Structure 1
């Protein structure tokens, strides 16, 4: 079979077949009386083997080794190829994310595109101070870009700068933040709630209410205290839970004093229990709340079997 017919039947161009021959990968096994290349059945099979290996991503040099070198280890080559492919996919995904972020920023001209690219490059810096400078300079960037940057940022100072820039953008990014509240990544949920606390609107408030039942104490405490800042008054049981658990208990005690006052005393006393550490935190919370009901409860704790609880109660009564 001559080269033109082989090209038609195999789908491999005549030019590529000549290239294979020049490299010694596929050499026609015969010649016609007129000197034309003649491919035999084994040659055709080899062509299909070459194409199959190339489809996997092997280079022509690796293809030649795979077909001719008996010591060639295909498993090692395929494993290496898989690793290279994974790296390429990571790079391409990063590029795709970058392109989507540029699109989400809604640029009207190339200058805005370049501004967004500059910001994103700055936010990719390994130096936190570099990321912070980029965040503070991102005045004209869409809120969604900043919101996703906040969710990805681990440095507290940089995250604060990004939240500041986000607040200045004026864009509603609640949907972006809410979308990660069910994520398995606890840190991601914490960052989302912390940003929701600084986000206005009923949708953000509703999201904080749902986060009150999160399995992570950090997420719960930020959501509860965020609701208190919004003027919510129905989170007293959750605040008492924070005091008992020792999660942001000082802030929770202050919140109880501000929104419930003496009405919270009965709930705290009901949780005294057998754990001395819990009773100490409740005593401190009672001192923060103040008032007759709290003082009465503290007098009962003066005789507590735990010296630490008793000392706290006596101090708070004397100090009051």
Structure 2
């Protein structure tokens, strides 16, 4: 089979077949009377073997060794190829991210492109100080795309730079929630924590509330706490169970109690939250620290249910809890003189109204 026919059947160019011949990788078995290369069936099979190994990313030198050296085992080489491919894909993903950032900045000329590249280089610096400077003092007239800031937030370990990034992100006006929501699904708990903190500082962004609601089910308590506080400050009652859990565990319990009080804007809401706090008190009869935190949360609530609960706790069997509750009853009485009137704890809501 002459070289032209081999090229047509194999899909390998005649130029490449000559190159294989020159390297000794695939030499035709014979020559015609006129001196043309003549390939046997075995030669063609070897060409297909070469092309198969090239498709895996092997160099021609590695292919020659694989085909000629019986002791050559593929396991180590394939492992190296996997690592090289992963590295190449990572570099290409970084390049794709940069290209998208340039495109999102809507450059009007090459000077704009150079400025956004300068910004990206600053954000990718190994120096935390330079990264922070890139966030707080970007090149002149360079709008920083929200997606770029969101991606930087998810990977930023330095707390000062992370704070600057969240500040810039909240003021960018761009849609970064989609990028941050991807971070909320990361297997890396640190990435999820960075994502939820950033979303919490985007109160008006579309999709932020839904992302935070999903984060209430996160296995990490820190992620759940940030989501609960942010949702509660938005007026979402779905955060109440998580906020109660924060009071019980003592995780940001003061903040959680303040948010619960803010959610208790009417007596009906206040009564429901007070009832939940009382249920939590009943579930922890022998833990004074938990009971004191729950008692302190009750004092923040308006309405008769919280008032009744505190008066009952003033007679609690735990002297510390009783003392704290009594002090709070006195404080409430001073702040609201009409509250000094005794309320019958067994009266109905209609009678209390």
Provide TM-score, normalisation by structure 2: 0.74
Per-residue deviation, 1:104:
2.4
Q: How does 1:76-87 map to 2 (within 5 A)?
A: 76-87=76-87
Gaps (5+ residues) in structure 2?
A: 333-353
Give the secondary-structure state (helix, strand or coil) at the position aligned to 2:280.
Answer: coil
Instruction: Name which of 219, 229, 241 aligns with 1:225.
Output: 229
Q: How does 1:154-303 map to 2 (within 5 A)?
A: 154-177=157-180, 186-201=189-204, 203=206, 206-207=209-210, 210-211=213-214, 213-216=216-219, 217-230=221-234, 232=235, 234=237, 237-238=240-241, 239-258=243-262, 260=264, 263=270, 264-275=273-284, 276=287, 277-287=289-299, 297-298=309-310, 300-301=312-313
2:125 aligns to what? Answer: 125
1:70 aligns to what? Answer: 70
User: CA, structure 1 residues 314+85, in 2 after alignment: closer, same or farther (shift >3 Å)?
Assistant: same
In 1: Cα distance, 2:74 partner to 2:227 partner: 55
User: Does the 8 Å CA contact 2:233/2:262 hold for their aligned counterparts?
Assistant: no
User: CA, structure 1 residues 45+249, in 2 after alignment: closer, same or farther (shift >3 Å)?
Assistant: same
In 2: Cα distance, 1:212 partner to 1:28 partner: 65
User: CA, structure 1 residues 147+74, in 2 after alignment: closer, same or farther (shift >3 Å)?
Assistant: closer
Give the secondary-structure state (helix, strand or coil) at the position aligned to 2:244.
Answer: helix
In 2: Cα distance, 1:160 partner to 1:144 partner: 16
2:51 aligns to what? Answer: 51
Per-residue deviation, 1:295:
6.9
User: Does the 8 Å CA contact 1:105/1:145 hold for their aligned counterparts?
Assistant: no
In 2: Cα distance, 1:55 partner to 1:209 partner: 45
In 2: Cα distance, 1:54 partner to 1:62 partner: 9
User: Does the 8 Å CA contact 1:105/1:144 hold for their aligned counterparts?
Assistant: no
Per-residue deviation, 1:63:
1.4
Give the secondary-structure state (helix, strand or coil) at the position aligned to 1:169.
Answer: coil
Between stretches 198-207 and 133-142, larger displacement belongs to 198-207
RMSD after superposition: 3.6
User: Does the 8 Å CA contact 1:209/1:223 hold for their aligned counterparts?
Assistant: yes
Gaps (5+ residues) in structure 1?
A: none
In 1: Cα distance, 2:159 partner to 2:91 partner: 27
1:116 aligns to what? Answer: 116
Provide TM-score, normalisation by structure 1: 0.80
In 1: Cα distance, 2:38 partner to 2:262 partner: 94
User: CA, structure 1 residues 209+53, in 2 after alignment: closer, same or farther (shift >3 Å)?
Assistant: closer
